[in-house]
């Protein structure tokens, strides 16, 4: 199933009086990039958090926020680190002396340094909390994946409808070409005849050159390639789980074929269809940017 890269997932788990809440937000990104915010006593588990997320997601910028609450929420899980406060005071005193600053030191100056606080959680406590974090993280991932899948399905329906519109434009161009190409060839012969009247010419060479000119105007090959790209687009979207990069490349090829048809077209109706096709391709490009 094709998934979107945008979504929100929430998960909560409780164990031994500890409640862990995990929030996952994801937005578009070329690759999978994960950013984590969690209590300091759990920071050494950040790599494991990212590893679990990578098992479920392939692309997107993911913001993971982990919060922990104990039985006594009014007690913070950090305390003052006296040695670090003294070291910070020494550093600020030296800075004042070097810079010639006479301003009195205030509490707000010390609060700029996170090192003056330390965690009160014991290692074994963090291990128990980690088990709770894993449960909440897996629930949040399931919730996020479900939302991304739902959005991906909605995007797929819209994208498939636009591919169908492209198919209709290609069919219309084919029909116009079939009707007008013989007429265009006839007009070309008449025009060349007027330009070279009363001159001796090699009729066989003239016919050859006219055929070559008509061949350059023929857009059959471009229409065939566009149809092939449309079919491949359907196939990738329906059969592959990670499609964003492939479809984006395919859209570049489709746009190239549309530009070639536009440059060859000598019919105003064909040009109008090409304009409509390029607009649909641009809309498709915007939608594909959201797919994983």
Sorted by where each begins, the domain ranges of the chain are 7-74+122-149, 78-114, 152-288
CA distance 137 to 146: 14
Report pLDDT for 74. Answer: 47
Q: What is the CATH number of domain 7-74+122-149?
A: 3.30.230
* DSSP conformation class of 4: B
Residue 181 has pLDDT above 70, yes or no: no
pTM for the model: 0.67
Task: List the structure tokens of 213.
Answer: 């000119």
Full strand arrangement of the beta sheet holding 32-37:
7-15, 18-27, 60-69, 32-37
Residues 94, 68: contact at Cβ < 8 Å?
Answer: no
- Residue % of the chain over a pLDDT of 70: 82
Task: Give the mean pLDDT of 128-153.
Answer: 93
Average pLDDT, the chain: 84
pLDDT in tens, 56-99: 999 999 999 999 887 544 455 667 888 888 999 888 888 888 88
Is the dihedral angle over the CA atoms 103, 107, 110, 112 positive or is it negative? negative
CA distance 196 to 176: 30
């Amino acid at each position: 199933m094709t998934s979107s890269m945008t979504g929100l997932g929430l998960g909560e788990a409780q164990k031994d009086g500890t409640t862990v809440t995990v929030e996952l937000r994801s937005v578009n990104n070329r690759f999978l990039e994960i950013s984590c915010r969690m209590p300091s006593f759990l920071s050494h588990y950040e790599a494991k958090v990212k590893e679990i997320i990578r098992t479920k997601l392939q692309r997107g910028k993911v913001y993971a926020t982990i919060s922990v609450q104990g039985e006594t929420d009014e007690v913070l899980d950090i305390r003052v680190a006296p040695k670090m406060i003294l070291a910070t005071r020494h550093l600020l005193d030296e800075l004042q002396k070097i810079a010639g600053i006479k301003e009195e030191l205030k509490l707000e100056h010390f609060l700029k340094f996170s090192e003056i606080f330390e965690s009160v959680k014991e290692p074994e406590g963090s291990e128990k909390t980690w088990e709770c974090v894993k449960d909440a993280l897996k629930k949040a991932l399931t919730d996020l994946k479900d939302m991304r899948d739902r959005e991906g399905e909605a995007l797929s329906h819209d994208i498939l409808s636009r591919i169908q519109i492209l198919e209709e434009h290609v069919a219309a161009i084919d029909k116009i070409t079939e009707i007008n190409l013989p007429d265009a060839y006839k007009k070309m012969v008449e025009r060349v005849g007027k330009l070279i009247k009363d001159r001796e010419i090699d009729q066989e060479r003239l016919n050859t050159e006219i055929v070559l000119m008509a061949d350059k105007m023929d857009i059959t090959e471009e229409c065939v390639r566009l149809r092939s790209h449309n079919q491949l687009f359907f196939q990738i979207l329906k059969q592959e789980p990670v499609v964003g990069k492939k479809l984006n490349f395919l859209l570049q090829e489709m746009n190239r074929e549309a530009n070639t048809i536009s440059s060859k077209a000598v019919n105003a109706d064909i040009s109008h269809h090409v304009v409509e096709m390029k607009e649909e391709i641009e809309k498709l490009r915007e939608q594909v940017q959201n797919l994983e």
